[in-house]
Structure 1
């Protein structure tokens, strides 16, 4: 049943797109002519700027409707290509709008939509009407008898067997009619996407803005990481070393006075051992040595062995990745395991490493209670680390679980 519903739905949308292309093309052409004349005649007056901005605003709204109409066939509307038009004066706003290629591509589409929409709409309506008329011939052909019709239409239209024969022919041609309708709609939406989708200029501007935002987030994350390291050093190893120095000074004073300093020396030794362990934990928090020596899989295996959770690790143990990717992936898993045990009360996790021709995918799935906030501080820090490498991080955590942490890093083979 589902297999039949999908083609019917897509074919109906294709026919609706083609049919509505006729009035849309007429409206677009009429507006294009009117807007061009109005802007052209008033360009030499003080009304030229406001009229141009108003005409551009209406043109963009009509183009947005066209992107929405194309979504009937494409499955989703075409993305808008517009950039913010900023300026402290009217002239600068006009220049900002006029300098965007999307402004003129919208107008071009409204002009070419008339012939394209008219041809596609008429063809689509004729194809659908002829095939539907043939299939339904027994229901209507008897009302329009034509004894003078040429052969072979006369026996098909004037006899009951002939009318049912038209139904058979219509059903036989139905797949061809469906293919033609969907092909015409795809061709028309391909032309719409060529003019209405974001062009190279818009993509470069948006990518530049995204990279600037990502860079700022990375700088903030690095500053926060430096503050964390300084705090850990000050509150951990540094405090222990200061205490050790004081204990050794006390032991030296006792030795000078002939007292017993063995307990103080032993205490200092324990303090030094604890400070060394603290420094080792800090180093592992910055970049674990095993990650450099043996790679990501071995580092994650060591991380899983130290975790209180039952962790299953899947992936190629011999695969090596770029150092930056290995470091980011390691901390994604480390944070995910920590969150699974601390917040989700999970008992087990599955960590999967996979490499595609263009990316490295890290997936962590726990059996906890779910409900994680994707915008939380911890996950936001991980997202910044992943985005610094032009990667993506997504979190799926419905109430009741499971929580799935999915990170993807671009990495060409």
Structure 2
């Protein structure tokens, strides 16, 4: 009941203030339009336009707040940041935003809408409350010439109390009418003043630009890692094997025992080959191409130092980029669980729902994982490049849940 009363109070406040807001908004619209038109042929035209747009946006901001009272949710501002040092550039940026003209359109519409809904809402509310409290005022306005049935209702004590009972019975209807009168203009205000397609496209462009930048950074970091691994690992081992073979050749020419050096060179070459294989697996595991995501995750689960249960469709195949991203997410999750969380059991779930594949890695470790760690940040950039999302839940004491959602529409 308290919620209904509060909601109705906000609705009544909205329609009543709409009377004044409509008059002020319409007056400002006329004044601003006239000022911009008159000064458009002078050097002050751009400054006047920007000033008028600034004030109009403040009015529109108040309207978004008023509509939020009724709708129960805040309405975000639809404006795109204005850039440019010159007045002409700023004028073009402001005038090119549809929100600028939608604001003006709403201030013009608010005048008739506010008058109609505000007047109707005020009358309905006053009549409804007045009828409900008829015994407190009806005695002061006797009307012996009132038609039936108003005469007995207004001029007799039982009639006044009966009128109050009727008013109380109709009070829910009155409250509903007030809320309906407020809901219509509030929804219209939200439709005109909320972010539209233009703002959505601008935000999407900014998001794609940020994602592209992060992907480029991730690729650069990956190339540096590959170069470092080749330089410090396989390359160093191959150079050492070459030096060992050269030493063995010298011993052979000198009739010395070269067998130990040849064995050492063979071991060094085996180590270099193993290093190159690990490097290749770090770029794209061959098992993903040959047998798919489920088999690759099964291999990771089998190599884990603690038991890991894998659940999912063994025959499901996904786009190569999706399988690669999911594989490295699982690999990182299991590695962290073994290295930092002291986990003793874990699960991997792979589930496809429509055009989205969800991969979840759960372990029973001690939790407390840092969601901003370098490893997870790299995975997050890899996932975001595919328009996916990565989340980590790791309260102290566990469990830790690393999940990723990747679009896989084919």
TM-score tier (shorter): 0.7 to 0.9
Query: Is the deviation greater in 266-275 or in 141-150?
Result: 141-150
Matched, 1:159 2:153: no
The residue correspondences of 1:33-48 to structure 2 (distance < 5 A) are 33-48=30-45
**Residue of structure 2 aligned with 1:32, choices 22, 29, 34:** 29
**Residue of structure 1 aligned with 2:383, choices 381, 386, 409:** 386
Query: Is the deviation greater in 223-232 or in 204-213?
Result: 204-213
- Whole-Å separation in 1 of the counterparts to 2:266 and 2:123: 94
The residue correspondences of 1:235-246 to structure 2 (distance < 5 A) are 235-246=232-243
**Residue of structure 2 aligned with 1:229, choices 199, 210, 226:** 226
Which protein has the larger Cα radius of gyration, Structure 1 or Structure 2? 2
1:347-369 C-alpha deviation (Å, 9 max, x unpaired) = 44443333233423333344444
1:83 aligned counterpart, secondary structure = coil
- Shift in alpha-carbon separation, 1:107–1:164, aligned structure 2, 3 A: closer
Deviation (angstroms), 1:127:
4.8
Deviation (angstroms), 1:219:
1.2
Please tell me the root mean square deviation across aligned C-alpha atoms, in Å: 3.1
Q: CA contact under 8 A between 1:69 and 1:77: conserved in structure 2? A: no
1:270-328 C-alpha deviation (Å, 9 max, x unpaired) = 32332222222212211112222232233222222222344343333332222112212
Query: What residue number does 2:287 align with?
Result: 290
Q: TM-score, normalised by structure 1?
A: 0.84
The residue correspondences of 1:208-287 to structure 2 (distance < 5 A) are 208-287=205-284
Number of equivalences: 404
**Residue of structure 1 aligned with 2:87, choices 81, 86, 90:** 90
- Whole-Å separation in 1 of the counterparts to 2:163 and 2:341: 69
Query: What residue number does 1:170 align with?
Result: 170
- Shift in alpha-carbon separation, 1:326–1:13, aligned structure 2, 3 A: farther
- Whole-Å separation in 2 of the counterparts to 1:367 and 1:5: 45
Q: CA contact under 8 A between 1:156 and 1:166: conserved in structure 2? A: no
Q: TM-score, normalised by structure 2?
A: 0.85
- Whole-Å separation in 1 of the counterparts to 2:269 and 2:17: 80
- Whole-Å separation in 1 of the counterparts to 2:130 and 2:334: 64
The residue correspondences of 1:349-388 to structure 2 (distance < 5 A) are 349-388=346-385
1:111 aligned counterpart, secondary structure = helix
- Whole-Å separation in 2 of the counterparts to 1:126 and 1:328: 63
1:33-71 C-alpha deviation (Å, 9 max, x unpaired) = 221222222222332221211111111122122223333
1:159 aligned counterpart, secondary structure = helix
Matched, 1:141 2:135: yes
- Shift in alpha-carbon separation, 1:154–1:411, aligned structure 2, 3 A: farther
Structure 2 unaligned runs (5+)? none
1:214-257 C-alpha deviation (Å, 9 max, x unpaired) = 21221111111011011111111222222222223333333343
Query: What residue number does 1:299 align with?
Result: 296
Deviation (angstroms), 1:9:
5.2
- Whole-Å separation in 1 of the counterparts to 2:22 and 2:357: 46
Matched, 1:58 2:52: no
- Whole-Å separation in 2 of the counterparts to 1:117 and 1:199: 23
- Whole-Å separation in 2 of the counterparts to 1:272 and 1:380: 35
1:187-231 C-alpha deviation (Å, 9 max, x unpaired) = 323322322223333332332232222212211111110110111
- Shift in alpha-carbon separation, 1:115–1:315, aligned structure 2, 3 A: farther
Query: What residue number does 1:101 align with?
Result: 98
